[in-house]
């Protein structure tokens, strides 16, 4: 595959799929504040103060509950049914926490109603107490039927302090440059932030995987047989690449982002 072909593929992607790879969280890095207790673009920031103890950048949010539950909330509109989104953020829980810190989020319909009850459409989990060390939370979710937005909420309870930073709600909509009907084909998460890319399809046939940089140089080649496999891309530098997968004479070619 020559350089001109790779560049043509990439230019086609940029021109025809402008919505790919969209960050939907506003002020996720918590660098912008209306006041020392109000990060901009956040619907609720209860018990929050601006802190310089940041995971990256200049600021994080220190959230302390003296008594009862307090929330950190952002309402994220314009989700697309059936498409995937990667949620991630960094946190650290200060010593002496008396209650769990919770991820308590869900997709909602156009009336604002919850979708899914207590099913997987609702992301409810206790965050691990982590020895006052910055820790990453990450999960990929699919927008269910009738959803139009995502309600992102974190909850802190009695006599507990937690620091928050580097929030992301990333739209992983499929951005196929060329996909000759590999049934059930998927490559996720995209962007890749943990060094592992999962490739899957509905078939068990041999899958050949190749990743090129934007100059047309091959940076990875791999293959497997079966429905799904994890591909280690941790040796590839952060940047934008072209992923090519072939199976039983069919080809899928996508833009791939590695962080």
Structure token pair of residue 19: 């919505």
Nearest Cα to 176, choosing from 84, 251, 78? 251
Which tens digit of pLDDT belongs to each residue from 227-237?
Answer: 999 999 999 99
Backbone phi and psi for residue 185, each to the nearest 5 degrees, phi listed first? -65, 140
- The residue written with tokens 């891309």 in the block is 233
Ranges under pLDDT 50 in the chain:
14-20, 118-120, 175-176
Residue 44 lies in domain: 22-171
Q: Are residues 31 and 121 in the same domain?
A: yes
Residue 165, pLDDT score: 97
Amino acid 120: pLDDT: 46
Written as six digits, the tokens of 37 are 């207790």
End-of-domain residue from the set 140, 171, 202 = 171
Rounded to whole angstroms, the Cα distance separating 255 from 13 reads: 7
5-18 pLDDT tens trace: 555 555 555 444 44
Q: Check residue 17 and give its pLDDT.
A: 42
Do 227 and 120 fall into the same domain?
Answer: no
Q: Per the structure, how many domains does the chain have?
A: 2
Q: How far apart are CA 252 and CA 54, in angstroms?
A: 40
Shared domain check, 125 and 38: yes
* Last-in-domain residue among 171, 197, 219: 171
The SS3 call for residue 11 is helix
Q: Please check whether residues 8 and 38 belong to one and the same domain.
A: no
- Residue 112 has a pLDDT of 79
Compute the Cα dihedral for 98, 99, 100, 102 and give only its sign. negative
| Helix, strand, coil percentages, rounded to 5, for the chain | 5, 50, 45
- Distance of alpha carbon 64 from alpha carbon 215, whole angstroms: 49
């Amino acid at each position: 595959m020559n350089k001109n072909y790779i560049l043509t593929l990439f230019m086609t992607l940029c021109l025809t799929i402008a919505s790919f790879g969209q960050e939907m969280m506003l002020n996720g890095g918590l660098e912008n504040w209306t006041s020392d207790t109000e990060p901009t673009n956040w619907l609720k920031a209860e018990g929050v103060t601006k802190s310089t103890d940041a995971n990256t950048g200049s600021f994080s949010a220190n959230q302390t509950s003296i008594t009862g539950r307090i929330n950190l909330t952002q309402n994220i509109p314009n989700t697309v049914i059936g498409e995937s989104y990667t949620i991630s953020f960094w946190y650290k829980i200060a010593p002496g926490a008396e209650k769990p810190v919770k991820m308590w989020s869900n997709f909602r319909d156009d009336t604002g109603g919850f979708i899914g009850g207590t099913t997987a459409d609702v992301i409810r989990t206790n965050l691990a107490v982590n020895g006052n060390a910055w820790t990453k939370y990450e999960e990929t979710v699919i927008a269910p039927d009738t959803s139009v937005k995502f309600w992102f909420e974190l909850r802190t309870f009695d006599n507990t302090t937690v620091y928050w930073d580097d929030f992301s709600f990333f739209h992983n909509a499929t951005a196929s440059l060329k996909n000759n009907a590999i049934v059930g084909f998927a490559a996720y998460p995209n962007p890749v932030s943990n060094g592992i890319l999962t490739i899957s399809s509905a078939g068990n046939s041999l899958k050949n995987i190749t990743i090129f940089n934007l100059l047309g140089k091959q940076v990875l080649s791999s293959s497997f047989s079966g429905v799904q496999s994890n591909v280690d891309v941790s040796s590839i530098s952060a940047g934008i690449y072209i992923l090519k997968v072939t199976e039983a004479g069919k080809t899928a070619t996508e833009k791939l982002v590695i962080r």
